[in-house]
Amino acid sequence: VMLPDGDGFSLMEQIRAWTDIPVIFLTARDEAADKLAGLGLGADDYIAKPFLPQEFLLRVYAVLRRCYKKDAAVLKLDHCTVDFSRAEVDKGGELLPLTAMEHRLLETLARNEGRIVTVDTLCEALWGDNPFGYENSLNAHVRRVREKIEADPSKPVSLLTVKGLGYKLLARK
């Protein structure tokens, strides 16, 4: 909370303006108002000093488990099953191999199943640190993935476009 060039609450507001990365406040300020302010701004946890090292580790692990669920080796969609460990799609008994980019794209979407993943996030996952200018390539990869996972790629039910934002993958429940 107390930083040399500002305060953690302002920093938290700036962080939440562009990402939902997990954040844990670790501070000497243990007033109830401070805790409520930090959590109210979207922090995943608020730990006041002094604390037990084991408690700190358990809280970090809890946040990581909640935010980064283990990736499933198999993803069931409406018209197919994706086996990430084999990099293939089983579409009605037909096995379709995934390229490295298709695999990475589907993996990124599957980790965020049901949530919108922005174009920028997907480009960064596929092309790394300098993802700008790859939007057309991303569209082509999405189209190829849809051809493999959808019954009708022109009318997708699993890999949806969210206009102006990105894409969302819907798994079968």
pLDDT at 63: 86
pLDDT at site 36 = 92
pLDDT of residue 17: 86
Task: Tell me, yes or no, if the pTM score tops 0.95.
Answer: no
Distance CA 74, CA 83 (A): 5
Per-residue pLDDT of the chain (173 residues; tens, 9 = 90+): 888 888 889 999 988 888 888 999 999 998 999 999 999 998 999 999 999 989 999 989 888 877 776 656 888 999 999 999 899 999 999 999 999 999 999 999 998 889 999 998 898 888 876 667 788 899 999 999 999 999 999 999 999 999 989 999 998 86
Q: What's the pLDDT score for residue 18?
A: 84
Instruction: Give me the pLDDT at residue 134, please.
Output: 82
Nearest 5°: CA angle at 74, between 72 and 80? 140
Task: Enumerate domains of the chain plus CATH numbers.
Answer: 2-67 (3.40.50.2300), 74-169 (1.10.10.10)
Query: What pLDDT does 95 receive?
Result: 95
